[in-house]
Chains A and B, each alone.
Chain A
Amino acid sequence: MTTEQFGDLLQSKTSEGAQELTSRAKTRSEELRRELGGVLRLPEGVDADPGDIDIDVPDDETMILNLGPAHPSTHGVLRVMLELRGEEILRCKPVIGYLHTGMEKTGEELMYHQGSTNVTRMDYLAPFSNEASFCMSVEQLLGIEIPPRAVWIRMLMLELNRISSHLLFLATGCADIGAINMLVYGWREREVLLSFFEKVTGLRMNHNYFRPGGVAADLPDGWRDDVLAICEAIPKRMDEYDNLLTGQPILQERTEGVGAVDADTMIGLGVTGPLLRSTGVAWDLRRDQPYLAYDQVDFDVIIGSYGDCWDRFAIRFNEIRESVKICRQICDLMPPGDYRVQDKKVTPPPRGRIDESMEALIHHFKLYTEGFKVEPGEAYVPIESPRGEVGCFVVSDGTSRPYRLHMRTPSFTNLQVMPPMMHHALLADAIAIIATIDPVLGDVDR
């Protein structure tokens, strides 16, 4: 095979066809307007006129560049197609699906108590959030209430997960921009958190710790000391990193004013989380539609003013500090009691009881082979993950497997804000923008 034939074969086998960014002549005018970053609805009766579209450069003076899917800075297998005039981006189209593994279809084959193992791997950097929304949806369908200790344990793990996810954002975001020191520091801070997770759940990531009915096991002895040690160390180091990053002229130049989008665009696109808060909209599900026991802890909702990349950096930075505040309060307020609801039809018996009691053995057998049946119905419970609103929509049909499992994931929706952010940005800004959107491709593609 000649090099040319190989090139043609490669092109035909790897082309995503109509999903790609095509030449302007071949793109529908509404889609063209969308790729240019035009989002808000045109007035009634006005059609998107191709002449309106503000590209004054003919087709043959621009270049369509492919960023990804194999790229160190696209946060996973994200492919972004850009039409460039020199360094300036005119049009942008993210192409996704490279990490799609059919997790929703798999979820229909797994029983409810296995669901956490599947769902936890979607947003693999904030696995507790996925598990929490799934378990809370199933608990709503079952109509059970979990004991207070389980609620507070879940809150503790969710907030520690928020810290570790934001630390990873800082690490990779700064590395993408070139501030490589932060990469090393971010991973180092995460180690402390991941070892705590391993102590509690047995795994550093993708824990399968939250189960419908509560959590899998109680917190180990000495957890309070570990959490307080984390709460002591992290704020001091965050102050050091604040000193390092804020005011650093190159970082400021690369992030201030870059990718600024206004609040109406964000709301129209359904964007939630730090991106929405960076435009000044103070929407945080922990405060505005509280779940678990968030109405009993005191924390601030951090908002930005300009909706640019630096705001998003600053918001996530300060959310780490707020999460530390919440964790300290949880250490004081953690109630004693059961860590799992004592409903024999939902919670398997402790392993020791199986030797002693026939009933325990039978329950264990039934639960792990047939699972627990859930009445027909549907539920959607959203929570605030580090990236935005994550919610699990479960439709049940009376059997022990979900009939339909859909995760409304924040990164999938947040990616829609990429064309407005990239409009007239430079190619180097594109990297900063993708970093601050903080997509997790497991979340996007499932």
Chain B
Amino acid sequence: MAEPTAPNPEEKGGAAADQPDTPVAPGAVPQAAAPDESVSREPVPVSDGLLYGKPTEESHGTTIVHTGRDGYLELCQALKGDGYAMIIGVSGVDYLTHPGRSLPEGITPERFEVVVELLSLVRRHRVRVRVQVPDGDTRLPTLFDLWPGSEAHEREVYDMFGVVFDDHPDMTRILMPEDWEGHPLRKDYAIGHVPVQFKEAPSGR
């Protein structure tokens, strides 16, 4: 790996003094920590198609775990403990007008599905958690305490689908204006059209 374009050692010394909590001698480059050999580099092991008791499937190198709301937070905690330290995204899907999807046994299909994509840098492996959220009671526990990076994504899912995340620090709309009514990405929310009036073009004759 190449070094970044290094500035003058004298200047680096001066700048290093401004760094909070980096006791680095002027001109020295901190070495990366030695890799922790005890951490596994393999994908988290799936036994009998189950991961922490939840049914899984494989898709192009990603392990997809299906769950209902019960056990969702515990599953995520277990995955974080297993080294899935980075949350890539949280997105929602509204299956209202979907012809029918195949879910494993034991998972009741609900109208909304929240999809959480996790990444383990050490294992170089991704896990996708798909959790079912019923229509009348669109609530889920927040993942903010596990992964602070879920904050903006959960706000977007709330804004677009109306799924409320309990204990989220700031459960407000993020893309739509604050006083907007309705949740635009739901299937029963019309795409909207701007009425266009056509005028007869003036004829050249």
Contacts and interface: CB of A to CB of B under 8 A. Distances in A.
A253 B85 CA distance: 34
B4 interface: yes
Contacts of B94: 404
Interface in A397-444: 397-398, 403-404, 406, 408, 412-413, 415-416
Contacts of A281: 121
Interface stretch (B46-54, B68-76, B167-175, B197-205): B167-175
Query: Mostly helix, strand, loop or mixed at chain B's interface?
Result: loop
Given A97-B174, A97-B175, A380 B169 contact: no
Contact of A242 (B5, B15, B169): B5
A100 B155 CA distance: 14
A105 B15 contact: no
Given A242-B5, A389-B88, A305 B30 contact: yes
Contacts of B78: none
A31 B176 CA distance: 20
Contact of B8 (A247, A272, A391): A247
Interface string B142-166: 0011111111110010001000000
Interface stretch (A54-62, A203-211, A215-223, A313-321): A313-321
Interface string B120-142: 01001000100000000000000
A68 B115 CA distance: 33
Interface residues of A, number: 80
A303 B145 CA distance: 28
Contacts of B101: 376
Contact of A415 (B152, B172, B191): B152
A336 to B, nearest CB: 28
A349 to B, nearest CB: 30
A16 B178 contact: yes
A314 B12 CA distance: 14
Contacts of B88: 270, 382, 389, 391, 408, 413
A300 B1 contact: yes
A189 interface: no
Interface in B1-48: 1-2, 4-5, 7-8, 11-12, 15-16, 18-20, 22, 29-30, 32
A237 B100 CA distance: 56
Interface in B98-120: 98-101, 115, 117
Nearest to B117: A380
Interface stretch (A152-160, A168-176, A282-290, A327-335): A282-290
A311 interface: yes
What's the dominant secondary structure at chain A's contact region? mixed
Contact of A305 (B4, B150, B152, B185): B4
Contact of A413 (B1, B85, B153, B178): B153
Contacts of B150: 270
B141 to A, nearest CB: 14
A289 B88 CA distance: 14
A115 interface: no
B169 A247 contact: no
Given A246-B7, A268-B85, A305-B29, A398 B149 contact: no
A118 interface: no
B169 A30 contact: yes
Contacts of A380: 62, 117, 128
A12 B153 CA distance: 27
Interface stretch (A33-41, A177-185, A228-236): A33-41
B160 to A, nearest CB: 8
Contacts of A96: 174-175
Contacts of A15: 178
A413 B152 contact: yes
Contacts of A102: 184, 191
A271 B121 CA distance: 12
A395 interface: yes
Nearest to A97: B175
A322 B5 CA distance: 13
Contacts of A378: 59, 115
B117 A408 contact: yes
Contact of A302 (B4, B15, B18): B4
B34 to A, nearest CB: 13
Given A16-B177, A252-B11, 11 more contacts: A19-B174, A41-B148, A247-B11, A256-B11, A257-B18, A270-B149, A281-B121, A314-B4, A389-B88, A391-B89, A413-B152
The 7 A-B residue pairs with the shortest CB-CB distance, nearest first, are: A270-B149, A256-B15, A314-B4, A17-B178, A257-B18, A30-B169, A269-B149
10 contacts: A16-B177, A31-B170, A34-B169, A97-B177, A282-B32, A302-B1, A302-B4, A317-B5, A378-B115, A412-B152
